[in-house]
Structure 1
Amino acid sequence: MYWYCFTWERKKLGDVAEIVGGGTPSTTKDNYWNGSINWYTPAEIGDKIFIDNSQRKITNLGLKNSSAKILPAGTMLFTSRAGIGKTAILKEEGSTNQGFQSIIPNVKLLDSYFIYSMSNILKKYGESHGAGSTFIEISGKELAKAKIFLPSLIEQKYISKIIYSIDDTIQLHERKCEELTLIKKALLQKLFPKKDVIKPEVRYKNFNDAWEQRRFKDISKLSQGLQIAISKRFTHPGDGKLFYITNEFLNPNSTVKYYIDSPTKNVIAEKTDILMTRTGNTGKVVTDVEGVYHNNFFKISYNSSKIDRWFLYYLLNSYPIQREILVRAGNSTIPDLNHNDFYGIKIYIPTIEEQIKIGTFLTKVDSLIALHQYKLKKLKQLKKFLLQNMFI
């Protein structure tokens, strides 16, 4: 590992890079379009680090008759309006519309990935120095005035290598999460029968019997949760306090957690219980959580010798059942599923042995998704720490 101790110098962005705007050829001229020159719009930027294929392309004639310009590979595209600061690096040369102020690094002074790693710094600058009445926009002249601290080019490249390795791993885990989520969606469609079909499309070996028709009233019993006034909720656990499971728990980005005193009635869920929302965002299913459940939830009790917990969990999440739940909850301002509507839903179930096979397999898929999500979270935390501490 190499360590660099040279002083970082404060420079204007315009001193180490050229700032170039874009343009749009006339859309009434057919011979300006469907050419071979990549032409990017802000809507295409933000999901990928490197880009090399635009949704629309222009011709040489379109380029000559507009203010669009050819940008070399290594240029960092920077959206300058209506969402300032979305960035990407050109893998191949291309052009943009007028929604960009693209940054072409002086290759002797500025590394492309180094300036890309400073995207958040430039975004904040653009948002604070932009102007306009209808929408905020940062001009190329103003962006060129942005002052940044730069080490030597060799140190820039070393830092870029570290950040890129993290970004590349983040994208790998994001792709894995997306792929596994699609696989899970397909499995939920194929491992459970479609409406009014007595067998699923995909079966495990040696399981050939038709699934038995039932209704939820035959296999489960509902109990409704408890409404606790906000004034009686606590945001920190304490002696005798129990976790209060509310709608906020369903939001993965929420940091809100409530705790309450032990209730007088039995509205406590254990990890093996299954909860489902009955109003608002009806049909959201959770398990593996302990605490007092809110009035917005049903607890679904079941006979574990006849119904496997995880099979029931994924059955409730399958498309035919979710569709039935939403239809029966109604289209009012606040959808609401009552006991009888839920009990009346027709379902098909296999033997307990096949249920266990299905439930176990799908939990393994979910565990893989959770693993990649955990790694993503840690990698993003590491990147945030490095960006806060490696850049002046």
Structure 2
Amino acid sequence: MSVDRQLPEIRFEGFNGEWNSLILGENAKFTKGQGYSKGDLVESGSPIILYGRLYTNYQTVITNVDTFVTEKDKSTKSIGGEVIVPASGESSEDISRAAVVRMKNVILGGDLNIVLPNKNIHSIFLALVLSNGRVKKELSSKAQGKSVVHIRNSDLSDLNIIVPSEDIEQTQIGNYFQKLDNLINQHQKKHDKLCNIKKAMLEKMFPKQGKIIPEIRFRGFSGEWENKGIEEISKVFIGLVTTMTTSYRNQGVLLIRNSDIKNNRFEFSDSPIYLDKKFADENSSRKLMLGDVITVHTGDVGTSAVVTEKEEGSIGFATIVSRPNKNIVDSNYLSVFFNTDIHKNFAMNVSTGDGRANYNLKDFYKLKVPLPAIDEQIKIGLLVQKLDALINQHQQQITKLNNIKQACLSKMFV
């Protein structure tokens, strides 16, 4: 990026020439939202945007509002095209966040700075500039306060905004990022919908406390479920708990830590830890086998995943290992049950520790597992596997698109 020449690193084909410097205060009108807080929200009424939602719910362009209030006199309402910036935030790094209100007659709540740019600066382009890069850093540096920081319209007014000399280039940049946000939103909605479906099904596919039959089950299955102790259905042991940092290597036998275990899957960092092969062979009794179920002992207690071919032969570090009796319990089913609220609540209730929770083996031994017939277990396990695969696909797309967005934001502005 060449700030001296005021040119971005990359731009759309067909555009050239330097960008122009504009003082925002000379090219915009400013006002403030007023009144209203979270305590004023009602189920239905007049749509409102509260400043806190900019941190949690809205992308660069706001086209739908899902919070409402009973309207008061002299409320500040949008005319469409305003850029709103929080006037308060938890930190100077986070407060520089802007969004465009596309709709008319939306109430703009208190603690919102409202900027209406003139024709020289497009609203979406301005919101992107305020939320990223050089301008974001400059605006963040103006934030004042300790436990809560504040930004005023006068801070915004002083900003030097560098814009393309041609209106159409601003428009194309804004449209490009709006399309990215729309794609991210689409995947996020599908991701959240699948998560809700999975949660609802898991709540009904296992018998409630004191019951022996679940609310819903696959067609063709009937009969009562039975509860069996974890030691009746699997061999249980703990992973290595000895100090082994001197045996860490860049390659060798994979070490699985509690932090690597996620809901029905493993998620390793870019630099996974391996153990010296000789050291691992000396502890071969702790090596994991295909189908073992690994459960978090310290941290997000109860969270579990099944060992696949990728993790076979690895060793867990202070993890709880269940090696299922395949004639009694299916590995995927057992992992699914371990990740339900039923088991997670049990794990939390028996855990010890002031800071990080510890799920001790003596308490794990007390666990009772609800079991249908093995073929019904397999169906439940496969169903959740399919849902998890779809959820992960959407999450991967969200991550990929966010990475593309961040890379473009760092190169397409001055």
Report the TM range for the smaller structure's normalisation: 0.7 to 0.9
In 1, Cα distance between the equivalents of 2:411 and 2:334? Answer: 48
State the 1:382 CA deviation.
0.9
**Aligned with 1:163: secondary structure?**
helix
Superimposed CA distance per residue, residues 266-314 of structure 1 (whole angstroms, 9 cap, x where no aligned partner) = 222245321112344321212246222112x111011223321111111
Contiguous gaps of at least 5 residues in structure 1: 64-68
Q: 1:136 aligns with which of 141, 146, 149?
A: 149
Matches within 5 A, 1:110-189: 110-118=121-129, 119-121=131-133, 122-132=135-145, 135-151=148-164, 152-189=166-203
Superimposed CA distance per residue, residues 170-211 of structure 1 (whole angstroms, 9 cap, x where no aligned partner) = 011111111111111111111111223211111111111222
Matched, 1:41 2:50: yes
- 2:316 maps to 293
- 1:13 maps to 24
Q: 1:346 aligns with which of 368, 375, 385?
A: 368
- 2:82 maps to 75
**Aligned with 2:162: secondary structure?**
strand
- 2:7 maps to none
What's the TM-score, normalizing by structure 1? Answer: 0.85
In 1, Cα distance between the equivalents of 2:26 and 2:114? Answer: 14
- 1:237 maps to 250
Q: 1:319 aligns with which of 338, 341, 356?
A: 341
State the 1:250 CA deviation.
4.1
Give the fraction of aligned pairs with identical amino acids, expressed as a percent: 25
Q: Is the 8 A contact 2:83 2:114 kept in 1?
A: yes
- 92 and 311 in structure 1: CA distance in 2 versus 1, 3 angstrom threshold: same
Q: Is the 8 A contact 1:72 1:104 kept in 2?
A: no
> Over the residues paired in the alignment, what is the CA RMSD in angstroms?
3.0
Range with greater deviation from structure 2 (248-257 or 225-234) = 248-257
- 1:99 maps to 111
- 248 and 52 in structure 1: CA distance in 2 versus 1, 3 angstrom threshold: closer
Range with greater deviation from structure 2 (165-174 or 254-263) = 254-263
Range with greater deviation from structure 2 (315-324 or 144-153) = 315-324
Matches within 5 A, 1:222-371: 222-229=236-243, 231-232=245-246, 234=248, 237-238=250-251, 241-250=252-261, 257-262=272-277, 263=280, 264-265=282-283, 266-288=285-307, 290=311, 291-295=314-318, 297-329=319-351, 335-371=357-393
- 78 and 156 in structure 1: CA distance in 2 versus 1, 3 angstrom threshold: same
In 2, Cα distance between the equivalents of 1:103 and 1:331? Answer: 50
Q: Is the 8 A contact 2:45 2:68 kept in 1?
A: no
Q: 2:35 aligns with which of 24, 28, 43?
A: 24
Q: Is the 8 A contact 2:295 2:304 kept in 1?
A: yes
- 1:4 maps to 15
- 2:404 maps to 382
Q: Is the 8 A contact 2:46 2:68 kept in 1?
A: no
- 303 and 259 in structure 1: CA distance in 2 versus 1, 3 angstrom threshold: same
What's the TM-score, normalizing by structure 2? Answer: 0.81
